Structure 1
Amino acid sequence: MVILTDYEQRMLDGEFGEFKQIALQKIVDYANALGAEELCEVKKATLYLGAHPYLETAGSDDYDVIFSKMYLCSDKTVPLGEMADCCFCQTCVAPCDQYQWESLYLSKEFFDRNRKYLELTRDAGVSITGSCTPYLVGWIPLKGEHFVTTESSNVVMCNSVFGACGNSDGIEAAAWSAVCGRTPKWGFHVPENRYGTIVFNIECAAETAVDWDIIGYTVGRKLPPHGVPVLQGNYPHPDIIRLKQCFAAMATTSGAEMCHIVGFTPEAPDLKTALGGKEPKAVITITEEDYRESLDMLCDRGESPINIVALGCPHYTLEEIRAAALYIKGKTFDPSVDFAIWTDYATREMASQNGYLKIVEAAGGQILSSACPLVIGHKYFKHAVGFVADGAKQAHYIRSELPKGTPVYYGDMFKCIDAAVRGSWKEVK
């Protein structure tokens, strides 16, 4: 049975209102189910808000009803209150761009509803950012701080690189924590659970962002359930771009929530420390053959017309947008191709200020914010004849969503841009 502090008990007794009382009761129930003996204070939260299609199952346009039923998991409708004072909250991805809808094959009514939901939660204390990479726009939980998030790759990034503490709790549990400022002390909130258990010797290519995307995808494929991977090998230290690709792909093919990189991440100065002084449960080598096998899973063979190109899964950094824009400059995309770079809207504004947006638009493409094809759903890609992506996560998940038989191609940003110019994918020998 979880033991509460005096403040927590007062909240549970309803002293701070029914909104927080219900949220804390859910957290207490969650903690008891997990066997957690206490709660910890949450400093940062990202929340999956906006007019996501699954919310329609609430059967109401009243956002108090929607939030109560779908986020608080309560049959009783409680007016939307305020998020916890101790917790800085911001939005994860939404099902629509912040500025436009027609080019996404969405309606103005849906766009307005999405804005309405976001603005209501903004007034409750959730800043609108529309980002699956919140650490790129200032949302950075520091070492030892506790966080909740609805983005699986963000869990791995924050635990591994920042030394913050969090689990993949899910949409509803993240909302409860944001409201009451507490989460069960279990999993990666507990220091002794953070040690690595499975060592991966990386012997494949590990230079480019695509290499690290494939490494993450492959490690995830081979990681045993509940394993905590430890990566080691003779490769240069990865930068933030390579890490975000690696962790997004790893969280796609596994339940990984933390990854140690020996000599690089803060809790892995050496292999012994990363393992907590224990022997690994397994040692796995990632070879070039494993790399090629993963690549074959992500990129269909052959050549064919394509009409959707999506760059930015996870969302692009300004550095990536710059590199893409400079490569695009002077080119023109095939008019049949929907070409989009996906990012958060703060980075999109920086891209505009630097002239990168103008370059992309001059070629016939867009820089879009707050979403991605997967999050928007089938309305955006139901007309696809060939889909191209530079993110393993996007390429992996989109396959089951596209019209039957639609090929999916995967490669670096330059191959994807070339495909958008041609209007077709061609294998490079």
Structure 2
Amino acid sequence: MLLSPADERMLAGNEGRAVRAALELLVRYGELMGAERLIDTDNVCGANIFGPRHARVLGTADPAALFSRFSLDLDETVDVPPFRAHSCQLIGPRDREHWDVQGISRADADAMTESERYLAEKGVDLHSTCTPYQVGNVPRYGEHCAWMESSAVVYINSVLGARTNTEGRESAAASMLTGRTPYCGYHLDAHRRATHLIEVRHPVVSTEDWNVFGYWVGEQVQDAVPVLVGAGLSPDPVRLKQFGAAAASSGDVELYHLPGVTPEAATPEQALGGRAPLVTSVFDAAARAATVESLCRTASDRDVDFVMIGCPHAALEQVREVARLLEGRRVAPSTTLWVFTPSALRTEAERNGYVEAIERAGGRVLSDTCPAIGQFLPPGTRVFATDSAKQAHYLPAITGVQGWFGSVESCVDAAVCGRWADA
């Protein structure tokens, strides 16, 4: 790998042991990925808040020791300087204000708060969300980033035209410290061209439709780059958020093109780089029906214990919609309703009265985390329902619960009635 003079100085240890370890990690990673060099980045999103599981493994809750071991892969605890790159914290294991709802102890909550304080001292913005682009971190077109979180990666690559690969905890931390990332993958023009053509022959309109469509696309293309074509495809940012999250869950989609909506290609031909697609797939009524059935494949019991809305974290208009649907109604005593949104948007939702409306009806609005990341459920949960294809994909696999997928209307109805209705 070709290294710059600044890279060489970091490798020589001129900026300390932590920076040297970070650059060594990036060089190993870059060589494995076939990168010829490293490039500058000033926009990194990572997950470096450590929960009780990490502390138990290492035998200490000291943030410096945890960061050294789990983010830099070091057996020794090293001094970590302020981060060079603009950095933000992604979703974490607990709600900062309502951790008790999750069943977390005061000691564990305090340890995670101390971990946050440590990161803040290094210069990390504590967004604590899987959707940093909803709370101020909006990369510019063409900007080289180093982001974790599959749903965020596919959003900024596709919708914003930024450039990032899906990073891990270690590579993101290394980029935070060095301001460098390997020049490979989706940083390169050649890897951003579409290879698969998706023809849409069934209406894709509602947010539920875009969840289903995304899940189907991910199954079809896996880790390839699709271009979507069809009449009437006009999604808003919320539907693009849900589509990308679903496609990144059933497959490993990090970039897609929707001519006329996403910025890198005005036509399918431009998205494909003038080449014929390797594969053409058709989304029709049969494909939609089969995908919905697949998303509900873990469910058989219709009594619903838990309804989860907000994966990826809900936009303000999604919180408003839940409040509207609950007007004059009450969550069933046997069912728990949780709505997840970034803490910054929760503040706005409070100001607008949406949180009060949801909680008056018996629901809760939580932030900073989600059941899949935090691996927590309301006590006694056997069956849950969600409006998110991503959460329907992951939560049954992680926790063993049964999962129903459907529209937000169906989910709120299930919360009120305590049962999942026939479609």
Deviation for aligned residue 1:160 = 0.9
Q: Quick check: 1:20 aligned with 2:15? A: no
Instruction: Report the counterpart of residue 62 of structure 2 in structure 1.
Output: 62
Instruction: Report the counterpart of residue 391 of structure 2 in structure 1.
Output: 394
Instruction: Report the counterpart of residue 199 of structure 2 in structure 1.
Output: 201
1:77-156 equivalences under 5 Å are 77-84=77-84, 87-156=85-154
Match 1:413 to one of 387, 403, 408: 408
Deviation for aligned residue 1:80 = 2.9
TM-score (structure 2 length as normaliser): 0.96
Identity %: 33
5+ residue gaps, structure 2, are none
- Tell whether the 8 Å contact from 1:305 to 1:385 is kept in structure 2 after alignment: no
Instruction: Report the counterpart of residue 6 of structure 1 in structure 2.
Output: 5
Instruction: Report the counterpart of residue 289 of structure 1 in structure 2.
Output: 286
Instruction: Report the counterpart of residue 423 of structure 1 in structure 2.
Output: 418
SS in 2 for 1:401: helix
Whole-Å Cα distance in 1 between the matches of residues 287 and 301 of structure 2?
23
1:226-261: CA deviation from partner (whole Å, max 9, x where unpaired): 411111111231110000000000000111110011
1:2-401 equivalences under 5 Å are 2-56=1-55, 57-84=57-84, 87-224=85-222, 226-300=223-297, 304-377=302-375, 379-381=376-378, 383-401=380-398
SS in 1 for 2:385: strand
TM-score (structure 1 length as normaliser): 0.95
5+ residue gaps, structure 1, are none
Q: Per the alignment, do residues 188 and 397 of structure 1 end up closer, same or farther by CA in structure 2, a change over 3 Å counting?
A: same
- Tell whether the 8 Å contact from 2:93 to 2:369 is kept in structure 1 after alignment: yes
1:180-207: CA deviation from partner (whole Å, max 9, x where unpaired): 1101000011112110000010122310
1:204-236: CA deviation from partner (whole Å, max 9, x where unpaired): 231001101111100001115x41111111123
Whole-Å Cα distance in 2 between the matches of residues 259 and 151 of structure 1?
16
Question: In structure 2, what residue type is equivalent to 1:423?
Answer: G
Question: In structure 1, what residue type is equivalent to 2:238?
Answer: I
Deviation for aligned residue 1:54 = 4.6
Deviation for aligned residue 1:53 = 5.0
Whole-Å Cα distance in 2 between the matches of residues 427 and 303 of structure 1?
12
Deviation for aligned residue 1:380 = 2.4
- Tell whether the 8 Å contact from 1:157 to 1:247 is kept in structure 2 after alignment: yes
- Tell whether the 8 Å contact from 1:43 to 1:141 is kept in structure 2 after alignment: no
RMSD: 1.5
- Tell whether the 8 Å contact from 1:11 to 1:24 is kept in structure 2 after alignment: yes
Deviation for aligned residue 1:169 = 2.2
Range that drifts further, 73-82 or 383-392 = 73-82
SS in 2 for 1:146: coil
Deviation for aligned residue 1:18 = 1.8
SS in 1 for 2:337: strand
SS in 1 for 2:41: strand
